[in-house]
Structure 1
Amino acid sequence: MTEEFNESMINEVQEGDKVKGSVQAIEDKHVVVHIVGGKFDGIIPISQLSTQHIETANEVVNIGDEIEAFVTKIEQNEESGHYILSKRKLDENLSYEKLQTILDEDETIEAEVTEVVKGGLVVDAGIRGFIPASLISVNYIEDYSDYLGKVLTLKIEELDQTNNRVILSRKKVEQEALSSQKEDLLNNISQGDVLEGKVARIANFGAFIDLGGVDGLVHVSELSHNHVKSPEEVVTVGETVKVKVRAVDREAERISLSIKDTLASPFEQIDTNFTVGDIVPGKVVRLAQFGAFVEIAPGLQGLVHISQISHEHIGNPEEVLEKGQDVQVKILAIDKDEERISLSIKDTIEQETDYDESYLNQRDTDEDNPTLGDIFGDKLKDFKL
């Protein structure tokens, strides 16, 4: 009867069974667990205590803690025995089941970054998960160490329990958030809105501004009231700027912006510095068939009509002017409402004549050139019809 009892007790716990117990002792390399309903105590090697790397058992368990684990092996002899247990395997199974449900329902998880390794980040997702560098963010990340200890919101990219492989993505979460922000912005933004954004990148034709999920373009001509040769003269990548919406194309997901329209116009203070009739220096900034545009101050350009360029007849402004040339101009008119200035180069230049003007002032007293009056004198007075 004794032998039959002992055999029945041993057979109560089999390899692969899930058992419960309480921590009785913590050693350097293992933990001793009293198994409920078992003949022997259980031993959990430190490598089987946690799904994460640990140095000592005290990091994860204390005396008296209740534990569930899988029986991986039963070792016994004639006098004693023990069960080899794995809490790690049980935790992994539970974690994989939970992660599979999250993956199936396309939900997110929260996981703490426990290690920064070459090529990415290791996180505690209930089991050891990995975020490859390419899936950390939509933005370029230079130093991954800033993520150590942070809790990240992640999407499951790949789940393979057979190969113990859990690949996670933070980039996907960011992309979905940006997509949602982009849709909301495009639906709510309107022409004339004034917004704040960040300079995302610069091209030779303008600057792209991140408005929070969608980029808008500020053409180089809309960067400043002043003439701009290159966008780098006005803005830098990462700079926060104020912009005004000029146009929205929701189907093409394009937004045209202006920085210039948010700045005070130079015409607002033109009366302080300029008056009709003033002669001021300027620079030719553009030539057209009908005249020349001359800048008389930053952001202030006026038109010299072709008829006001020269006293001589010209067929094209390029006959006498070139871009970048310094000139003197007279202000003919200022229209603040329309932001127009009429200028004249001709009125600053004294007209030259092609004859001797001294003849105009010569008196008719030359005796060598008598007039008819000198010749006939009184005879004309006596003549009657």
Structure 2
Amino acid sequence: MDEMNKEVSDFKELAEGELVTGKVVKVEDNQVLVDIGWKTDGIVPISELSSLHIETASEVVSLDDELTLKIKKMDDDEIILSKRAVDTEQAWNDLEAKLQSGEVFEATVKEIVKGGLVVDVGVRGFIPASLVETYFVDDFSEYQDRALTLKVVELDRSKNRVILSHRAVIEAEQTVKKEQRLQSLEEGQVVEGTVARITDFGVFVDLGGIDGLVHISQLSHEHVEHASDVVNEGDPIKVKVLAVDPETERVSLSVKATLPGPWEQVEQEISQGDVVEGTVKRLVHFGAFVEILPQVEGLVHISQISTDHIGTPQEVLEVGQKVNAKVLDVNQAEKRISLSIKELEVEKNQQELKSYEKEDDDTGFSLSDMIGDQLDKFKD
């Protein structure tokens, strides 16, 4: 009897609410037995293992795990322990610290519920659907058991409310990336990007962290009616940086500036003496501007429009009219081409005259002969 009393007295004194540590000695479906150095093994019911719903105890603990537990209830023959109570207290302290510091941490999605995702952060953490991504997600099935980086955005211990956000992490990363990219861009740089959006006034290009705008006038050397006629969303695109405004975070870009200009190959395509076809684009008091290549115009001076004397170009020409002209001079450096319509008329007249004279030779008669014969008649 004395020995039994001695063995009982050797067990440490325990009280409800106290924390104890022990080793898992048995895992059953609905409870876990833990050796805490007391006269009987402590019992952790499945409801006290986790703040989340679980089907079996083995989802949370394994044999020989070392656990810190809180005494929920005890009597002479049984002691009920709680892992959830310890985890919950620690979790709330940890989450409050994370909320204050803005710390980013990782947690695994345990459940997909109406309106969002549930994760285990020591307590039940909820990620509303609107805080999962920066874009709309229609189906969350792929998020099951997926690890997400998160931030605490709202806590209310009295209501057991923990709101987390993955979107906040992504947006913070995007902000840093955007600032870094903005600092790396310089006027005059030629960079590559991807067409992100097409609008009526131009194209937004993703440069990797920040979008820049290519105004519709900067898409091509030629006139563009609709940006979608030139590019499609998702297209890779090479652009030149025209301007960077760090304050407004606006980046102006140009595709046109990366393309060969319409005048760069002019001297290889057009030479003095060539006869070219073009369209009258503008009429001015001193002549007519004729487009002979895309975005390349030559000037027909008023004195070179017609063999007849004219007061204004409008007497002979009209905008949109197709004309042939002879190239008098090409100056690529100064982007200037001189043309003549009159020269072609003169050459045409000369050819007709030569053709007429040749016909005279073939008949054996000349103009002087004919005139002479007529004079002889008068003499007679």
Q: TM-score range by the shorter chain?
A: 0.7 to 0.9
Return closer, same or farther for 1:194/1:82 CA change in 2, 3 Å cut-off: same
- The equivalent of 2:259 in structure 1 is 263
1:151-190 deviations in Å (ceiling 9; x for gaps): 3322211122222222122222222233233333333422
Q: Give a deviation string over 1:23-45, Cα, whole Å, max 9, x none.
A: 22222211122233x44432222
> Equivalent of 2:159, from 156, 159, 163?
163
* Cα distance change, pair 237–138 in 1 and its aligned pair in 2 (3 A): same
Aligned counterpart, 1:380: none
Check the 8 A contact 2:275/2:326 in 1, yes or no: yes
What pairs with 1:101-112 in structure 2 (closer than 5 Å)?
Answer: 101-112=97-108
- Determine the C-alpha separation between the residues in 2 that align with 1:289 and 1:119: 69
| 1:8-23 correspondence to structure 2 within 5 Å | 12-23=13-24
SS for the counterpart of 2:23 is strand
Contact residue 283 and residue 318 of structure 2 kept, 8 A: no
Give the match for residue 383 of structure 1: none
Aligned partners of 1:364 and 1:137: how far apart in 2? Answer: 100
Matched with 1:54 is: 54
Amino acid across the alignment from 1:321? V
Report the CA distance between 1:84 and its aligned residue.
2.4
TM-score, normalised relative to structure 1: 0.75
Deviations along 1:25-84, one digit per CA (max 9) or x if unpaired, are 222211122233x4443222223213444332222222222211222233x4xxx63222
Partner of 1:229: 225
2:29, 2:58 within 8 Å by CA — same for their partners in 1? no
Decide whether aligned partners of structure 1 residues 181 and 63 sit closer, same or farther in structure 2, where only a CA change above 3 A counts: closer
- Match in the other structure for 2:69: 69
SS state at 2:125 partner? strand
CA contact (8 A) 2:22 2:35 kept: yes
The within-5 A match list for 1:1-385 is 12-36=13-37, 38-74=38-74, 76=75, 81-282=77-278, 287=282, 296-297=292-293, 299-304=294-299, 307=302, 311=306, 312-314=310-312, 320-322=318-320, 328=324, 330-339=326-335, 341=337
Mapped contact 2:8–2:39 kept (Cα < 8 A):
no
Change (3 A) 1:172 1:305: farther
For structure 2, the residue ranges without an aligned partner over 5 or more in a row are 357-366
Identity percentage of aligned residues: 44
- Could you tell me how far apart the structure 1 residues matched to 2:238 and 2:56 are? 55
Moved more, 121-130 or 215-224: 121-130
SS of aligned partner of 1:98: helix
How far did residue 258 of structure 1 move?
0.8
CA distance, structure 2, for counterparts of residue 316 and residue 115 of structure 1: 80
The CA deviation string for residues 192-246 of structure 1, in whole angstroms up to 9 with x for no partner, is 1111222221111111112233321111121123332111112222322221111
Preserved CA contact (<8 Å) 2:304 2:339? no
TM-score by length of 2: 0.76
- Cα 1:159–1:32, aligned 2, differ >3 Å: closer, same or farther? same
SS of the aligned residue for 1:175 comes to helix
SS in 1 for 2:159: coil
Provide the rounded CA distance (Å) in 2 between the counterparts of 1:317 and 1:130.
81
Aligned pair count?
A: 357
Is the CA contact 1:157–1:168 (under 8 Å) kept in the aligned structure 2? yes
Q: Give the letter aligned to residue 259 of structure 1.
A: V
The CA distance in 1 between the partners of 2:246 and 2:283, in whole Å, is 36
Q: Is the 8 A contact 2:44 2:81 kept in 1?
A: yes
Separation in structure 2 between the aligned mates of residue 347 and residue 164 of structure 1, nearest angstrom: 94
Task: Write out per-residue CA displacement over residues 304-333 of structure 1, whole angstroms, 9 at most, x where no aligned residue.
Answer: 5674895454476998224xx655555454
Counterpart contact for 2:290–2:300, Cα < 8 Å: no
CA RMSD in angstroms comes to: 4.2
More helix by share: 2
